[in-house]
Amino acid sequence: MNNRNPIYPVILSVPTNSRKQLARERVRALRHRAREALEISAQKSGVVLGKLQKHKNGAPLPFNGIHWSLTHKSKYVAAVICPEQIGIDIEEIRPCPTHLFGKIANGREWRLIDEDKFKSFFRYWTSKEATLKAVGTGLTELSKCHIEKVIDDVHLITQHRGVRFHIEHHFFKGHIVSIVKNSFQVIWTLLGENNSAGLRKL
């Protein structure tokens, strides 16, 4: 893989029976489903998936120079591999307490965007989470990650400690997925709950 090639984030629907499991079993099932999505992303990229290991802080470690990222919610999971630092995050767009807006972004950042407030909230939230996954810090450095520019409805730029990241969004079925795009072309794949190999698209 190189940065002239596309990257292939894969979104998988979570089987209905997995959503009804007890909390610990449900988390295990979601992680397994996210690994399935990662396997499909690897196949589409022509990469053999290596051993998946994590740093002691929980950040994914590259295998054979290939970076990877996973995310999961109750209804959908997503995953991607990339030859550079990568982060992906998924959320369901829904009403949320207004006090959270001040925690996720400051006044300058909110003045950059003028659209539905909850859509804007989750655009910012998932963009920052994807960025912090890419740099390997997670939410411990949320205060160091900022929205620098909103480009259009599906692209914006974040900045973490002076480094800029280009983010792309994908909206579907009341959800948003954000990914660190940078110089790559992003080719999204969405699959239904009965699929783990790209047979039927949503």
For 115-167, the three-class secondary structure string (H helix, E strand, C coil) is CCHHHHHHHHHHHHHHHHHHHCCHHHHHHHEEEEEEEECCEEEEEECCEEEEE
Q: Is residue 128 part of a domain?
A: yes
Structure token pair of residue 120? 């804007």
Report the amino acid identity of residue 175: H
If we measure between CA atoms, which residue out of 76, 95, 98, 79 comes closest to residue 87?
A: 79
Q: Is residue 37 part of a domain?
A: yes
110 is in which domain, residue-wise?
A: 10-191
Structural domain total, the chain: 1
Report the amino acid identity of residue 101: F
Which pLDDT value is given to residue 149? Answer: 98
Q: Is residue 2 part of a domain?
A: no
Q: Is residue 120 part of a domain?
A: yes
Q: Is residue 4 part of a domain?
A: no
Which pLDDT value is given to residue 23? Answer: 77
Q: Is residue 196 part of a domain?
A: no
Q: What tens-digit pLDDT sequence spans the chain (202 residues)?
A: 544 689 999 999 998 876 667 677 888 999 999 999 999 999 999 999 999 999 998 899 999 999 999 999 999 999 999 999 999 999 999 999 999 999 999 999 999 999 899 999 999 999 999 999 999 998 999 999 999 999 999 999 999 999 999 999 999 999 999 999 999 999 999 998 666 544 333 3
Which pLDDT value is given to residue 202? Answer: 38
The CATH number that applies at residue 181 is: 3.90.470.20
User: Tokens 């991607």, residue?
Assistant: 80
Q: Is residue 199 part of a domain?
A: no
Q: What is the pTM of this model?
A: 0.92
Which pLDDT value is given to residue 1? Answer: 52
Q: Is residue 107 part of a domain?
A: yes
